[in-house]
Amino acid sequence: MRASGQHIVIVFVKAPRPGTVKTRLTPFLSAEESARLYRAFIQDTVATVSGVKGVLISVAYTPSDAQPSLQTLLNGHALDWFPQTGDTLGARLWHAFHRAFQRGAARVVTIGSDSPTLPASILTQAFEGLISSDVVIGPATDGGYYLIGLRRRKGWMDAYQRLFEQIAWSTETVFRQTIEAIHTTDLTCIELPRWSDIDQPDDLIRLSDEIDRLRAAGDTARAVHTERILTDIKKYERSS
């Protein structure tokens, strides 16, 4: 599947296997419940991206044997698949961007699958920002970022690659270090609204409250799979 002239959203996912995903939610949730919730996160994230007009959706998956089960989970969506490559998150991100640009993409946005309520409007805003800016970045409340996007520019690939090097991944300094790297390489940047990842048990209470507010406001489309799993987990807790 070629991406010439396209805008691409790359969604980073893990195989939703018990004991390997959302491990910081245990023991508050069981390993199986955490995996079920993460499956819902993936479904809701891809559903949101599918609502953005004019984009090709790529799924960067890990481990290398995850594609068949993920394809079953996301049946019905037209997706481009490829395995994550690299020893660090930075290397995996750069490989994904490099692959997309090699295939002719004009603007590329990468997101994770830990923010099931993220609205499509933020993705649209990201692509609009890449019209005038080299980089768009969405800061996360934990000090990282939930989104980063780049536009294709001749002669700037080395500068782009440096954004993913010498970063202390999985720490509260990721966003700050990345902003410093952007400034050091003289790239232009637009910051998107701050958003939250779902990693800790306390995040589940906030997530449930957020979904309740969405429904009260008439939004019946966002995070529907996540809502269903959260409801099941609440039923399980009440009966235990």
Q: pLDDT by residue (tens digit) across 204-219?
A: 999 999 999 999 999 9
Rg (CA), the chain: 18
**Confidence band of 239 (pLDDT split at 50, 70, 90):** very low
pLDDT, tens only, 135-153: 999 999 999 999 999 999 8
The residue written with tokens 């409340």 in the block is 141
- Once rounded to an integer, what is the mean pLDDT over residues 21-49? 96
**For the chain, percent of residues with pLDDT exceeding 90:** 91
Do strands 55-62 and 135-139 pair parallel, antiparallel, or not at all (unpaired)?
A: unpaired
| Contact partners, residue 123, CB within 8 Å, separation at least 6 | 9, 48, 49, 52, 55, 109, 111, 147
Superfamily for domain range 7-239: Spore Coat Polysaccharide Biosynthesis Protein SpsA; Chain A (3.90.550.10)
Which two three-digit tokens encode residue 189? 């940047």
Return the domain boundaries, the chain. 7-239
Pair type for strands 80-83 and 145-151: unpaired
Phi, psi of 55 (to 5 degrees): -115, 150
Residue 236 has pLDDT above 80, yes or no: no
Helix (H) or strand (E) holding 69: helix 67-73
Judged by average pLDDT, the poorest of 59-63, 111-115, 151-155, 211-215 is 151-155
- Quick one: CA torsion of 57, 174, 65, 19, rounded to 10 degrees? -120
pLDDT of residue 10: 98
